[in-house]
Structure 1
Amino acid sequence: MRRSLTRPRPFTAAVVSLLLSTLTGLAVPAQAAPAPAAPSTAITVDGTKPGLTFDGVGAISGGGGNSRLLADYPEPQRGQLLDYLFKPGYGADLQLLKLEIGGDTNSTDGAEPSIEHSAGTVDCNQGYEWWLAEQAKARNPDLRIAALSWGAPGWIDGGSGTFWSQDTIDYLMNWMGCAAQHHLTVDYLGGWNERGYDKAWYENLKKTLTAKGWTGTKVVAADSDWTVADAMNLDPAFKNAVDIVGVHYPCGYLGSYTSCPSTPVAQGLGKPLWASENGSEDADTGAPAVARAINRDYLDGRMTGFFNWPVIAALYPNLSFSTDGMSIANQPWSGHYSIGSTTWVTAHTTQFTAPGWHYIDAASGYLAGNRANGSYVTLKSTDNRNYSTVVETLDATAAQTAAFTVTGGLSTGQVHVWSTDLTSTDPANWFVHQQDVTPANGKYTLTLQPGHVYTVSTTTGQGRGTASPPPAAPLNLPYADSFDTPAATTSPAYFTDMNGAFQTVACGGGRSGTCLRQMAPTTPIRWTDEPYNAPYTIIGDGGWSNYTVTADTMFEQSGTVELLGRVNQQGRNNNGLNAYHLRVSDTGAWSLDKSDTSWTWTTLAKGTTAALGTGRWHTVALTLQDATLTATVDGATVGTATDRSFTNGQAGLGVTGYRTEQFDNFALTPGTPSAHTGPITSALPGKCVDAAANSAADGTRVQLWDCTNAPAQQWTWANGTLTHNGACLDVTGQGTLNGTLVELWSCNGGSNQQWLPQPNGSVKSAQSGRCLDDPGATTANGTQLIIWDCNGGANQRWQLP
């Protein structure tokens, strides 16, 4: 009987591996599993499909004081910054601009002046918002203007503090008249920022706008939350008075903005829905959140308008939101600025669309149906020819593809692909014209990398501005301002008001020329809730240490004026200030006081000198030399105090109540430099700041090391700088991003070499407002130090020499 033969079974890869390893003693790698297919999304861009009307992407100037320093920039840097904000095809290309209607009261990081400090006296040239809007419209005539109040002058409703009054509507109509004088059309007008709503007031506002002839101005309510939609749904008169439902932070306050819902009731109103304030994010690190929100506001909540807060961080680094906006511009004296990546993620929508375009809902959604892969929205032009698709892959972890099919009358011609790589800190990788693609039979496919924003568009005319700033530099002393030389606005150069309104006017008290006057005579209707809300204005460089601040002062009425020195960190929404104050009353009473970031006051010295009286000019001076504070009135020392709380900071002027006092001949003269040498110790036990290999060469690592008191750990603190063997502690490349390395470099006076010690032990970079940081609170020797958002952690607290 023949044995049947069968074909032997082939060895599997595992069997081969086992045999080879047995025979040779060598391990053979297992065969890799096939890589999973990249996610793919089919996007049909059909011009016949419906979608809501796009109202635009813009930003907010105000809420408050965030644009203040922009007007004081020199040319050409001022024009460059304005171009990066408003010039089409250059930068952010903003389509909307919301202005704060000033109320003489702090509205976050400063106070915007009112046009009507006293009832019936209207001055349409107050402040800098008119100037900004004029500059914006000159660059983009199609820009749309919105306006909103945060506070209001104190005379409203007889001084009752009631915003929802006829006086407020009358005040807004005066403001609208001022806008017309500046040849500005106000397209949108709101009520009271984040303070709810009064239905009858909004109905009256709408009627008054119509009666005054401003029928084209749409009413926005209530710049708060979605409850206004519920009220509109139940009240036809209220609903008819409101044209647009504006809600703040629909994606949540701060955070990553991954989900941006509205409500069914709001969507059922048939009114445009807006994210009328978003942002509050850093100009660079906040860019991913802003990019998500611009897309997802529409996808999740059917919102068709987006406002970023603020438009620009043109404010001092000691203020709470000092790096938020499209760009950072806090050195008008040097002209230095930095353009944030938020500018470029905004440009991915604004440079490729226009208000009046329509979304295509069928060509908008989440990649591969999963929000973790990213989002995309498509908009088409009003003539149904051009289209733009904005894609973000910020949460994706791998490459994916998008297959486009174009139909329905839209152009099937060449598309232009622009990209921003937000995984990169190199600006050269932001807003790059990546490629042009010619569809085949209306079809094309793109590969999308994670961490990117893309725009695919048939439009042309886009561009990336090329202007670059000069290096940062300190504002050197001596410095003086007689207030006789006109500034860019009614505020003197570099002064920024924190409460009240300090304006240059004709001098009183028999003095010729121009003086500085606090204009608000009564406590305004406030937006912030700080326990101390008296008017004051600050100026200058946070690196100043030893100096004398001097000013002539004249009491128009009985009261107290103050000079401020070593103005350091301000509490959020003006809820405190690290500073020294010399206060002098018309009665001759004086005091040297210290305040902190919770407005806790400490009187260091006090006394009485001859009465100053009213209507007469006197000279007051505050000298800060190391730990000694000296008060002088009319050239005579009236008292001294000793305190070591604050080592550096700006100067300022103030009035302890809402009174109209005057100042003149402001001057800052340098004191005697002082230097202290020794180690910089960390709050992490046993750790010190160390110069690698005790070198002073450019680029030397500045690192954490066990404290040994070795020469490499000897630092000199003087006039806002920290030096080792003559080289300065330096933020690499004048960087402002979280994680930028710190090193030694030849001293050059740049603000990236200026450091601001804080009372809690943290040390801020004067340029970025970020703190000297031991990354991850590691204790490993050799860890290179960086800058990072200030958080008060032990890894950010240092004892200087």
Structure 2
Amino acid sequence: MTRAPVRVRRTLAALLGLSLSVLSGLAAPTAAQAAPPPSSTTSITVNGTKPGLTFDGVGAISGGGGNSRLLADYPEPQRSELLDYLYKPGYGASLQLLKLEIGGDTNSTDGAEPSHMHTAGTVDCDQGYEWWMAEQAKARNPQIRLAALSWGAPGWIGGGNFWSQDTIDYLMSWMDCADQHGLTIDYLGGWNERGYDKTWYRNLKTTLTARGYGATKVVAADSDWGVADAMAQDQAFKDAVDVVGVHYPCGYLGAYTDCPSTTTAQRLGKPLWASENGSQDAHTGAAAVARSVNRGYLDGRMTAYFNWPVIAALYPNLFFSTDGMSVANQPWSGNYSIGKTTWVTAHTTQFTRPGWHYIDSAGGYLGGKRANGSYVTLKSTNNTDYSTVIETMDATAVQTASFAITGGLSTGQVHVWDTDVRSDDTSRWFVRQQDIIPSGGKYTLTLQPGHVYTVTTTTGQGKGTATAPARRALGLPYADNFETPAATTSPKYFTDMNGAFQTVSCGGGRAGTCLRQMAPMSPIRWTDEPYNAPYTIMGDGTWSNYTVKVETLFEQSGSVELLGRVNQQGRNNNGLNAYHLRVSDTGAWSIDKSDIHWNFTTLASGTTGALGTGSWHTVAFTLEGSTLTAAVDGVTLGSATDFGYTNGQAGLGVTGYRTDQFDDFALTPGTVTTHQGPVTSGLTGKCAEAPGDAGGTPVRLWDCDGGSTQAWTWSNGTLTHHGKCMDVAGQGTADGTAVILWDCTGGANQQWEPQPDGSLKGFQSGRCLDVPGGTTANGTELVIWDCNGGANQRWTLP
């Protein structure tokens, strides 16, 4: 049944005695999908004379752990497309606020961001990628407001004390750098989630004013509501703080159904912000974000919302690898995925501006019940336009919202935008629906469960149409002599986990540019990992057999390391599944294995002639099957055997905070290794089998019997059966997509990445090979599903 044209609906309305507005909302369901009558009606009076707080905006955070790092290395046009989806008005997330990490050479969740002052008195205003990110945001939206916050700081500051005048002076030098980049920092905080020092904040406020940055507002304390209690008891502290910023006021993770503040905080008369929220998957976290943007104001009177992080432009083996507005973890292919969170955010950001005002009387819970969903209304500074954002995340039945517009606001045409958050069909996200023409300032809207709606009198909204190319592996051989300038001071594809690896002029009499670890001492840390040492990783997690080789210069006595088969990292860098070749200036060497808790096992060790400091040497680490081999200056030192890690990235490191150098980094492929046999499930006695050889044959679970239907060949990320590949049907990425046999194409949907917990992660989807529901019934057809580490997702390869 197609939608009736307007003239037909006018006739129907007249015949039925109904106002056109009732029929002018969203497309009606077809007869086969006829919806039940609305369960309840909420009357919303939008009165432009009613009070409400000033809206400060919705934004996101670049930082708190290297989450934006890979974006700068994306090729064009994909890099610009991703930036447009983040910042361009009327295109995607259209962010109104951007918080930047002030780098401190230390891990701050999923990576380390470089400081602008590795040592006292030496300022480098071009370090890192946050300046680039802010400049790109400003170029797309000159009205975007910038905030800044530290997670850590170089160790020379204040003798290791963050709450010192040294830190304030350090922040002023960072503000000077921002000024050099043509950037105005609107808001400045203290130390992320590490409490507050009242005297320090008073001194910060005084120093900002004295240094000409008096317009920059101070945010405290990016932690919990306790700072509001302290402000209420200390007038000088209260005067020094302009904004009360709190993290995860809706709780950490979860559904974000309740987002309260405190009575004390509300009585301060200061803006209250959810200065960090989110930490959820770009797709599955969308419902939580939709709730919290609305409910932060309804429950806690919070007038700004920052999602952490802005984008998941980081490697997939890192802990929070899919959190953000979108996912972009393959700069070499240009592949990316625009998250559903982008579009639920757009329902506020594309229809409002900072400086608008909430209308308190036009906000609340549908039908007075949280489970029905929430709504907020904001009016423009022109006192004519308005936008109402409605979410029905938890609703179980169709509802109706009945609007009455008054108080000088426009009673003209209303535009309706809708996202079906429960759908994985991208065509149902951020869709402009039929406009509504109010009658006498009144109209009605039908609300489906699990949706976000915006009704607005504004125009200029849109949904970006750029699409990404397919995923592909980063091929070997690969080399970087660090001579070609990258988009930032980090080499292309390298992302630092601790310390700061920067391209500089070579030492030791060598011409050209080399990679140097710049942090000379342990920083003031934010994380608490037991192994605190600089390292940087790069590349493709599907790499298996290869040699990583580099030229190295010991500037001081100590050890450098080459990393191979870098796999899963623990949360906040609290462990790493990887192999390490460590070589000291004394000639001592070892091959070590680290795990997800930073437990180290020495697999082989020895001593060669002293290498000394100040001269260059070649170090090579070969990973071939279960054999790991070390070499220095072309001489094999020894080898070890280990079956723990089959694949992973490469990397470089320094075992302490020293300023060693690297050059001529190279990766060469090893021998393609094949293994034949069954693929055994973590469900006892069960195997994966294909009951036929034709393309499209489902891969299913069956009792292990050693028969030909259970014969598989594993080779560098692919599983083949009688010449056909284990394939995710239709290149699908959604939970429940079938796994089948298909002609081998080399596509990412036919590549599987073994994980340390025994699961097989699909290279394209990021989801794991799964036995649905954990059933052990013979014939159960396998699918992909969100990785959860369950026995039904564990597999032993041939």
Same-fold call, TM cutoff 0.5: yes
Indicate yes or no: 2:658 matched with 1:666. no
Task: Indicate whether 1:83 and 2:84 are aligned.
Answer: yes
Q: Which amino acid aligns with 1:612?
A: L
Q: Which residue in the other structure is 2:447 paired with?
A: 448
2:710 to 713, 722, 726: 713
Contact 1:323 1:768 in 2 (8 A): no
After TM superposition, the structure 1 stretch with the greater mean CA deviation from structure 2, 790-799 or 95-104, is 790-799
Which residue is equivalent to 1:794? 791
Greater mean alpha carbon deviation, residues 337-346 or residues 768-777? 768-777
Secondary structure, aligned partner of 2:194: coil
Separation in structure 1 between the aligned mates of residue 579 and residue 638 of structure 2, nearest angstrom:
14
Structure 2 residue aligned with 1:309? 308
5 Å-filtered alignment, 1:354-753, equals: 354-691=353-690, 693-697=691-695, 699-753=696-750
> Does 1:347 pair with 2:346?
yes
- SS of residue in 2 equivalent to 1:435: coil
Distance 1:509 1:439, change over 3 A: same
Identify the residue that residue 196 of structure 1 maps to in structure 2. 195
In 1, are the aligned partners of 2:105 and 2:519 still within 8 Å (CA)? Answer: yes
Deviations 1:175-206 (A, max 9, x none): 00000111000000000000000000011100
Q: How far is the alpha carbon of 1:782 from its aligned partner?
A: 3.1
2: CA distance, partners of 1:664 / 1:460: 54
Q: C-alpha distance in 2, partners of 1:733/1:266?
A: 52
Q: Which has the larger radius of gyration?
A: 1
Which SS does the other structure have where 2:209 is aligned? helix
Quote the residue 2:130 is aligned against.
Answer: 129
Matched, 1:174 2:181: no
Quick one: which amino acid aligns to residue 687 of structure 2? C
Equivalent residues in 2 for 1:45-84, closer than 5 Å = 45-84=46-85
Query: Residue in 2 aligned with 1:7?
Result: none
CA drift at 1:297: 0.4
Alpha-carbon deviation of 1:37? 5.5
Structural mapping, 1:224-263, within 5 Å: 224-263=223-262
In the other structure, the counterpart of 2:7 is none
Q: After alignment, is 719-728 or 328-337 more displaced?
A: 719-728
C-alpha distance in structure 1 between counterparts of 2:426 and 2:281, whole Å: 15
The Cα shift of 1:777 comes to 1.0
Rounded to whole Å, the distance in 1 between the matches of 2:308 and 2:417 is 25
SS at match of 1:644: coil
Count of residues paired in the alignment: 764
**1:724 Cα deviation from its structure 2 partner:** 2.2
Aligned positions of 1:150-299 closer than 5 A = 150-158=151-159, 161-299=160-298
TM-score, normalization: structure 2?
Answer: 0.94
The 1:677–1:608 alpha-carbon spacing in structure 2 relative to 1, beyond 3 Å, is same
Report if aligned partners of 1:219, 1:244 keep a CA contact under 8 Å in 2. Answer: yes
Q: Could you tell me how far 1:172 is from its partner in structure 2?
A: 0.4
Change (3 A) 1:148 1:646: same
SS at match of 1:105: coil
Structure 1 Cα separation of the partners of residues 238 and 126 of structure 2: 35
1:229 aligned partner, one-letter code: A
Deviation at 1:775, TM superposition (A): 2.2
Deviation track 1:218-271 (CA, whole Å, cap 9, x = no partner) reads: 000000000000000000000010000000001111111111111111111100
1:760-779 pair list within 5 angstroms? 760-779=757-776
How many angstroms apart in 1 are the aligned matches of 2:636 and 2:322? 40
Please, which runs of 5 or more residues in structure 2 have no aligned partner? 1-34
SS in 1 for 2:435: strand
CA distance 1:739–1:88, shift in 2 (3 Å): same
Structure 1 distance, partners of 2:164, 2:729, is: 54
Deviation at 1:416, TM superposition (A): 0.5
Deviations 1:747-786 (A, max 9, x none): 3333333222123212223344433222221222333323
2-side partners of 1:431 and 1:634: how far apart? 58
Cα distance in 2 for residues equivalent to 1:734 and 1:269: 54
CA distance in 2, matches of 1:202, 1:733: 56
Q: Which amino acid aligns with 1:233?
A: A
Residues in 2 aligned to 1:474 and 1:126: alpha-carbon distance in whole angstroms: 29
Q: After superposition, what is the alpha-carbon deviation per residue over 1:126-147, rounded to whole angstroms, capped at 9, x for unaligned?
A: 0001001100100000000000
Larger displacement relative to structure 2 (707-716 or 126-135): 707-716
* Identical-residue share of aligned pairs (%): 78
Q: Are 1:318 and 1:769, in contact at CA under 8 Å, matched by a contact in 2?
A: no
Counterpart Cα distance in 1 of 2:469 and 2:109: 29
Residue deviations 1:339-371 (CA, integer Å, cap 9, x gap)? 010000000000000000000111100001111
Give the aligned partner of residue 19 of structure 2: none
Calculate the aligned-residue CA RMSD, in Å: 1.3
The within-5 A match list for 1:82-161 is 82-158=83-159, 161=160
Specify the alignment match of 2:23 in structure 1: none
Q: 1:675 to 1:233 in 2, by over 3 A?
A: same
Structure 1 residues 639 and 93: alpha-carbon distance in aligned structure 2, compared to 1, 3 A threshold = same
**TM norm structure 1:** 0.94
Alpha-carbon distance, 1:694 to partner:
1.8
Distance apart, 1:744 and its partner CA: 3.3
Partner amino acid, structure 2, of 1:797: R
8 Å CA contact retained: 1:317, 1:768 = no
